[in-house]
Every structure is written in structure tokens, then in C-alpha cells.
């Protein structure tokens, strides 16, 4: 607050007038002199002395900046800060008290002044009150003494009235700070409400059209309601027209027709082959003594199967023109996806069905009675069942890690007769040494381990407890055609075990068959004792399961991929080797060499992997490692029946075939016996 110099001076003078007077008087009385002036003081005239200089003292600090800002992180902006703007020019501690204040009253009480005098004193100036207050400390001592006296009534009343003033030398102040709770930040973000986009264009035409359409619809509804009871037929036709219009793009309506047309076109295109398949017999066979030929018919290929090799072939037992092809890869480093394809001889250009799979397929089997059920074994150890009647690309049943899938590739699956509860079931064999039985129970695929293969006999036969038996890899198996429980398992170590479904603990027999993995093992279709095995060690061996050594051994000079007995003769079988050759043997004609071994594929182009006889027609299908399946017709020499003697009726039937094989066996065994 700006105050003029003069007014300050005046007020000060007013306040202290009397005191200054007293001091002056005291000075005068002691020194008896006037003002003492310093010698170098300016001599001023009276007029000069009287002259007034007005100076304004402000409490505002002129040097204090007014525009300092500080960043406030709480509000995220700069805030002006208040800098102390006041300057203190002069400070003096006063000893005056307001007489109405608490302190003044206390001191008065201590000084023993009666209230009346205090109130009376209020009229007096502060100078009068002041000496009294100044006196109080001196009085206090005396007063205290008086107060100590118990008989003093006044002191008692005073004591009651006054709270004791704390003795500032005789108390302690204590403080403590307890631990602050640590701060913690918790944040959460709720999911924003779902949003969607909408876009539209509005203009007069659009609006007009919309209204027109709506009106028409309303009119139609009205008409319909009116006409509903009376005119039903025209309405229905109208609706039918509308419905065909709306579904005009649905191609599934014409699927059946298209399929028929496709077959017709294919039959026209491949008319020659179809004729060959049905009627052509190689006449040159008559001029050849024993050899036969294989006539290539259709070649099945499918774009999606490129890069995959045929790993399994299986004819449908019910529809003899239909066969299944499993695609995958034998190469450990090239495992990608697989494909299950069904071709028909009636449409050779495109598969009837195709099911892409995630893992490569290694084996398939079509159920004998229910030909729509296809069991599939995968490289990843899964087994699955596909149902051709069901829509969709997925398997109807699939084993998972939870439901006991194999841990290694499944090399063969085979349907079995329905069990006692009429549930479909099949067996599988895998490199993990397990032969498992799978049963389709409602929606589930239930497994039971039938046997576990180990190198030294079956599981429990080995040293119990301490040693983990070394697991043998199962690579192939086949079930006996007549004896239900009997089956053979070929292993990766080249052994073949004869097992029984009922004994899971040990093998009935073990044949040391091959020096490399057994690729296929198959029972003869006719003779109950004979089976055949082939291996990558270049050999095919034919066995009597009662004898430990092979009856026949053929060396084909290349790894044998697959071998298959013919369904029409007990002595005919065919094999494929990786050099691209198909070998057809008829033991009845030649016990030492193949009677036909044409190269179906150029050697460098690829390997043949699988071969399968058609159950009725005289053709075989051969799969290779490029995803192609070739069908070949067997020439008459390859399916020659024993020549009927004149006058004797040509005997046919399984008995004849068995007799044929028996004859062969006895021929072989006799020299053996004689040598022994």
C-alpha cells in the first residue's frame, strides 16, 4: 500500500509522541544540551528544511517477474506461478498488546488486576497499558509467591479460571512418522463396444426407387392375400419361377447331369482304351510260349496331387470300377500334405472324390461290406475314417493324441469283421511298434493295443522290469483269409512275426525274412498256408507259414515297393520295383523268372510304389512317386488257366487253385526232404 512519507512520519509521531518526549526530557536532564550534530552536516535554511519531498514506498517488488510459468503435469499445461511480490522495507517488533486480546487478559489476570480496572483501562491510551504489561514479569514473581499461598482466595479463583501455561523448558514434543503405504497403480481397459461400418448413398432417384419397390411389394402382398384362397396355382408357379431365378447360380442343381455328361465325354475321348479294356486280347500271346504282356490303359492324374507320391491303392470291393488312392510321401524330408482320391474307370479324367489331408497318407483300406467307409493311416500317426456318403472334406472319425494315436507313421490299416456288438473296427500297424485295434463306437474311435512289437520277441518275453525292450517298427501286416485270429506283421528290421489276436504277449513264430524293412506281406488268396513278402533288399520271398525258411526267393535287382497276389490264380503275383518295372510271376509256368516285366516308367523319371489287382477285371493299377496311377491290362498269357485235357471238363474254383499251389510246394519240398 503506497503511503506518503509524510503521513507515515505523522502517524509514527502521533504514536510515539509522549515516549519521545520523555526520552527528550531524560536527555535534557542528563546532558543539559541541545541536539548534537555531526560536524559535517549540511547547514540548511529554514525554508529548505520545511520543504517536503514526496516519496512513495510501495510494497510491490518492482524487480519481481510477473510472468513466470511452471509446467503442471497434473493438468498438462503451463501455469503462472505466484512469486513473492512484496518487499519488506521496515520491520519493527512491537511490544504492544491489544487489551481485548487473550494474551492481554491473561497478563492482566496474572498481574492481579481486577477486571474492573482492566475495563476501566480500556479508555486509557496504549502507553498506560504498556507499562503495566511490561511490569508483569516483575510482578509475576511476587504474584506467584502470593498464589502459592493456599489461603489466598483470589489466587484460587484465578487458578481455576486460567489454564496453566505450559512451561516451555519442561516439556518434550514427540513426533513420529509412520510408513506411508506404497503407491500402486492399477489400470484396466474395457473392450470398446463393437462397431461396424455402414455406407450408403442417398439421392432422389434412390429414394424414389426404394419407395416404388416398397409400394409394389405392398401391392403384391395385398394381391396375395386376396388371391390366396381362390387362385393358388398361378401363384405357386410364379413363386417357383422366382425361386429358380434366385437360385439360378447354384450349380449343384445340375451336378448330376454334368457328371453324366462328363462321363460320356470321357468315354468318347477314351473310346479306344475302353474298347481295349473290354475286348482286346493280345493275340501275339499265342505265339509266345510263356511270356505275356501288359497293355497300358488309362493313366490317372490329378492336378492337386502333383508332387505327392502314391502310397496306397485299394479297390472298392463293391463297385469294381472304383478305387482309392492315398497320396503322401515316403521321404522323411518332404512331408507336407496328403490327398485321398477316388477314381473310377468310368471317368478317368477327374477323380470322383478327393479329400485333402493335412498329413501325408500312407495306407488306406475300404470296408468290404460298407464300401463307403474308408480307413486311412497317416504319416503323423493318426488313423481316420472317411465316409463317402457324408458331405464335407473332413474325416468322420479321427484319432487324436488323446485317443491313442500312433506316435510314428501308420504303415497299414485293415478293416476287420464287425465285432460282437456290430461295431465296425479295423487294425493299424505303425513304426512305434504297436498294432492297435480301432472300434467305431457311435461318434468315437476307441482303440485297444493288440500287440507291441519288440526286437527280442514280444513285450513280456524280454527281461522284465530293468530293461526297456527295444521297439521294433511295424511296417506291414496282413490277416489270414480263413483263420480269423492269425496275422503277420512285417517289421522295419526285416523280420516277419506271426501273431495271434488273442495272445498279445508273444509271437507264434518269427521269420528272419529280409535284411531290410519289409515293405509288404500278404497271404495268398487261395492257399491257407502261403504268404509272400517283399523288401527293399531287392527280394521277394514266398513262405509256408509252418516252415521257417522261405520256399521261393526272387531277386529283382531293385528295391521292391509292393507285391500283390492275383485274385484269380493262386500262383500269379505281381511286384513293382523302384526302377519303374512291373514284374508279373506265374509260378505255375515259371518258378524262376517273371513271365512279364515291362518297364512302365522310365528309370530316371520316378519309382513305382504300389501295385494292386482288380478283383474282377484282368487289370492291375500301379502307383508311382509322382502321383500318377497307371492301369495295365494283363494279356491272356498272364492269366492262363491250366490247359484242359481233352474230354475233361475244365475245373475251376478255389480247390483247383489250392491244389495247384500244393503241387508246387510238394515239388519243392521233396528235393529238400531228399537232401535232408
Partner 1 sequence: MAGTGEGKKEEADYKRLHCFPLIRETDMPEEMKVETMELCVTACEKFATNNESAAKMIKESMDKKFGSSWHVVIGEGFGLEVTHEVKNMLYMFFGGSLAVCVWRCS
Provide the binding-site residues for partner 1, judged by CB under 8 A.
193-204, 206-208, 210-211, 214-215
Report which DSSP code applies to 258: H
Q: What does the alpha-carbon distance between residue 658 and residue 666 come to, in Å, rounded to a whole number?
A: 12
User: Residue 208 or residue 485: which is nearer to partner 1 going by CB?
Assistant: 208
C-alpha cell at 322: 472304383
- Collapsed DSSP state (helix, strand, coil) of residue 445: strand
Q: What does the alpha-carbon distance between residue 367 and residue 374 come to, in Å, rounded to a whole number?
A: 6
Least gap, CB of 228 to partner 1 (angstroms): 24
- Judge residue 578's burial from the number of C-beta atoms within 10 Å of its C-beta, 0-12 exposed, 13-18 middle, 19 or more buried: buried
* Residue (of 39, 22, 3, 15) closest to 94 by Cα position: 15
β pairing state of 353-357 and 361-366? unpaired
User: Residue 208 or residue 503: which is nearer to partner 1 going by CB?
Assistant: 208
* Reduced 3-state DSSP string for 259-271: HHHHHHHHHHHCH
Least gap, CB of 216 to partner 1 (angstroms): 11
User: Residue 86 or residue 206: which is nearer to partner 1 going by CB?
Assistant: 206
User: Residue 45 or residue 200: which is nearer to partner 1 going by CB?
Assistant: 200
User: Residue 26 or residue 208: which is nearer to partner 1 going by CB?
Assistant: 208
Q: What does the alpha-carbon distance between residue 353 and residue 80 come to, in Å, rounded to a whole number?
A: 82
- Judge residue 570's burial from the number of C-beta atoms within 10 Å of its C-beta, 0-12 exposed, 13-18 middle, 19 or more buried: buried
- Collapsed DSSP state (helix, strand, coil) of residue 124: coil
304: Cα within 13 Å, side-chain hemisphere: 15
User: Residue 197 or residue 502: which is nearer to partner 1 going by CB?
Assistant: 197
Least gap, CB of 192 to partner 1 (angstroms): 9
User: Residue 166 or residue 204: which is nearer to partner 1 going by CB?
Assistant: 204
Least gap, CB of 209 to partner 1 (angstroms): 10
C-alpha cell at 461: 518275453
For cell 531228399, what's the residue?
A: 674
Least gap, CB of 190 to partner 1 (angstroms): 13
User: Residue 203 or residue 463: which is nearer to partner 1 going by CB?
Assistant: 203
User: Residue 220 or residue 641: which is nearer to partner 1 going by CB?
Assistant: 220
User: Residue 78 or residue 208: which is nearer to partner 1 going by CB?
Assistant: 208
User: Residue 202 or residue 251: which is nearer to partner 1 going by CB?
Assistant: 202
* Residue (of 414, 408, 416, 558) closest to 491 by Cα position: 408
Q: What does the alpha-carbon distance between residue 675 and residue 661 come to, in Å, rounded to a whole number?
A: 22
Least gap, CB of 221 to partner 1 (angstroms): 15
User: Residue 178 or residue 204: which is nearer to partner 1 going by CB?
Assistant: 204
C-alpha cell at 127: 502507553
User: Residue 214 or residue 449: which is nearer to partner 1 going by CB?
Assistant: 214
Q: What does the alpha-carbon distance between residue 512 and residue 152 come to, in Å, rounded to a whole number?
A: 134
How many Å is the Cα radius of gyration of the chain? 59
β pairing state of 495-500 and 552-555? unpaired
Least gap, CB of 199 to partner 1 (angstroms): 4
Least gap, CB of 212 to partner 1 (angstroms): 9
State phi, psi for 489 to the nearest 5 degrees. Answer: -125, 125
Torsion of CA 362, 522, 480, 459, to 10 degrees: -60
Least gap, CB of 205 to partner 1 (angstroms): 9
Least gap, CB of 187 to partner 1 (angstroms): 20
* Residue (of 374, 603, 330) closest to 492 by Cα position: 330
User: Residue 59 or residue 215: which is nearer to partner 1 going by CB?
Assistant: 215
Query: What are the C-alpha distances in Å from 552 to residues 81, 526, 540, 542, 612?
Result: 109, 17, 8, 5, 21
- Judge residue 571's burial from the number of C-beta atoms within 10 Å of its C-beta, 0-12 exposed, 13-18 middle, 19 or more buried: buried
Residues 6+ apart with CB under 8 A from 671: none
Least gap, CB of 189 to partner 1 (angstroms): 15
- Judge residue 152's burial from the number of C-beta atoms within 10 Å of its C-beta, 0-12 exposed, 13-18 middle, 19 or more buried: middle
Q: What does the alpha-carbon distance between residue 222 and residue 333 come to, in Å, rounded to a whole number?
A: 70
Least gap, CB of 222 to partner 1 (angstroms): 14
Would you say 409 and 431 are in contact if contact means Cβ atoms under 8 Å apart? yes
User: Residue 203 or residue 466: which is nearer to partner 1 going by CB?
Assistant: 203
Sequence-separated contacts (24+) of 306-309 with Cβ below 8 Å: 306/626, 306/627, 307/336, 307/626, 307/627, 308/336, 308/337, 308/338, 308/339, 308/360, 308/627, 309/606, 309/607, 309/609, 309/623, 309/624, 309/625, 309/626, 309/627
User: Residue 8 or residue 206: which is nearer to partner 1 going by CB?
Assistant: 206
Amino acid at each position: 500500500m503506497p503511503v506518503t512519507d509524510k503521513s507515515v512520519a505523522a502517524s509514527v509521531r502521533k504514536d510515539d509522541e509522549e515516549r519521545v518526549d520523555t526520552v527528550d526530557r531524560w536527555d535534557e536532564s542528563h546532558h543539559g544540551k541541545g541536539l548534537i550534530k555531526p560536524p559535517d552536516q549540511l547547514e540548511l535554511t529554514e525554508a529548505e528544511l520545511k520543504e517536503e519531498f514526496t516519496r512513495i514506498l510501495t510494497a510491490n517488488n518492482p524487480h519481481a517477474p510477473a510472468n513466470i510459468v511452471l509446467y503442471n503435469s497434473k493438468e498438462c499445461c503451463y501455469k503462472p506461478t505466484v512469486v513473492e511480490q512484496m518487499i519488506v522495507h521496515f520491520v519493527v517488533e512491537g511490544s504492544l498488546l491489544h487489551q481485548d486480546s487473550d494474551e492481554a487478559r491473561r497478563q492482566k489476570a496474572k498481574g492481579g488486576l481486577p477486571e474492573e480496572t482492566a475495563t476501566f483501562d480500556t479508555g486509557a491510551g496504549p502507553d498506560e497499558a504498556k507499562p503495566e504489561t511490561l511490569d508483569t514479569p516483575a510482578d509475576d514473581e511476587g504474584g506467584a509467591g502470593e498464589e502459592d499461598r493456599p489461603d489466598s482466595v483470589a489466587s484460587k479463583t484465578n487458578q481455576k479460571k486460567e489454564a496453566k501455561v505450559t512451561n516451555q523448558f519442561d516439556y518434550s514434543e514427540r513426533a513420529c512418522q509412520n510408513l506411508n503405504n506404497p503407491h500402486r497403480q492399477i489400470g484396466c481397459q474395457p473392450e470398446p463396444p463393437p462397431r461396424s461400418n455402414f455406407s450408403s448413398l442417398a439421392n432422389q432417384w434412390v429414394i424414389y426407387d426404394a419407395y416404388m419397390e416398397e409400394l409394389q411389394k405392398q401391392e403384391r402382398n395385398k394381391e396375395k392375400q386376396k388371391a390366396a384362397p381362390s387362385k393358388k396355382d398361378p401363384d405357386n408357379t410364379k413363386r417357383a419361377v422366382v425361386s429358380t431365378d434366385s437360385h439360378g447360380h447354384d450349380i449343384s442343381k445340375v451336378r448330376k447331369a454334368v457328371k453324366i455328361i462328363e462321363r460320356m465325354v470321357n468315354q468318347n475321348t477314351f473310346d479306344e482304351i475302353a474298347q481295349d479294356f473290354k475286348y482286346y486280347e493280345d493275340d501275339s500271346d499265342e505265339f509266345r510260349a510263356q511270356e505275356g504282356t501288359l497293355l497300358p490303359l488309362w493313366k490317372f492324374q490329378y492336378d492337386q496331387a502333383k508332387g505327392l507320391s502314391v502310397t496306397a491303392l485299394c479297390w472298392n470291393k463293391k463297385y469294381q470300377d472304383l478305387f482309392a488312392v492315398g497320396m503322401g510321401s515316403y521321404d522323411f524330408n518332404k512331408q507336407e500334405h496328403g490327398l485321398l482320391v477316388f477314381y473310377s474307370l468310368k471317368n478317368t479324367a477327374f477323380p470322383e472324390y478327393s479329400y485333402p489331408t493335412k498329413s501325408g497318407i500312407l495306407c488306406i483300406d475300404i470296408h468290404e461290406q460298407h464300401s463307403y467307409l474308408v480307413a486311412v493311416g497317416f504319416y503323423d500317426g493318426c488313423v481316420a475314417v472317411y465316409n463317402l456318403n457324408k458331405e464335407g472334406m473332413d474325416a468322420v472319425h479321427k484319432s487324436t493324441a488323446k485317443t491313442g494315436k500312433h506316435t510314428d507313421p501308420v504303415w497299414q490299416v485293415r478293416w476287420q469283421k464287425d465285432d460282437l456288438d456290430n461295431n465296425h473296427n479295423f487294425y493299424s500297424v505303425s513304426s512305434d511298434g504297436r498294432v492297435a485295434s480301432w472300434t467305431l463306437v457311435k461318434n468315437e474311435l476307441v482303440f485297444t493295443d493288440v500287440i507291441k512289437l519288440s526286437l527280442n520277441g514280444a513285450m513280456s518275453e524280454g527281461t522284465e522290469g530293468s530293461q526297456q525292450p527295444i521297439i521294433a517298427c511295424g511296417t506291414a501286416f496282413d490277416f489270414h483269409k480263413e483263420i480269423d485270429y492269425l496275422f503277420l506283421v512285417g517289421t522295419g528290421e526285416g523280420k516277419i512275426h506271426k501273431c495271434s489276436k488273442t495272445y498279445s504277449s508273444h509271437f507264434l513264430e518269427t521269420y528272419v525274412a529280409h535284411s531290410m524293412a519289409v515293405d509288404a506281406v500278404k497271404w495268398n488268396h487261395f492257399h491257407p498256408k502261403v504268404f509272400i513278402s517283399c523288401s527293399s533288399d531287392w527280394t521277394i520271398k514266398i513262405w509256408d507259414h509252418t516252415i521257417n525258411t522261405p520256399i521261393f526267393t526272387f531277386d529283382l535287382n531293385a528295391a521292391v515297393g509292393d507285391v500283390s497276389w492275383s485274385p484269380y490264380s493262386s500262383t500269379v503275383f505281381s511286384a513293382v520295383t523302384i526302377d519303374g518295372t512291373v514284374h508279373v510271376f506265374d509260378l505255375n509256368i515259371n518258378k524262376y523268372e517273371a513271365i512279364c516285366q515291362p518297364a512302365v516308367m522310365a528309370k530316371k523319371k520316378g519309382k513305382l510304389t504300389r501295385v494292386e489287382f482288380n478283383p474282377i477285371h484282368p487289370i492291375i493299377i500301379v502307383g508311382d512317386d509322382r502321383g500318377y496311377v497307371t492301369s495295365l491290362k494283363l494279356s491272356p498269357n498272364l492269366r492262363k488257366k491250366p490247359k484242359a485235357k481233352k474230354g475233361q471238363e475244365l475245373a475251376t474254383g478255389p480247390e483247383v487253385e489250392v491244389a495247384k499251389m500244393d503241387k508246387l510246394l510238394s515239388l519243392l519240398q521233396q528235393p529238400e526232404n531228399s537232401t535232408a
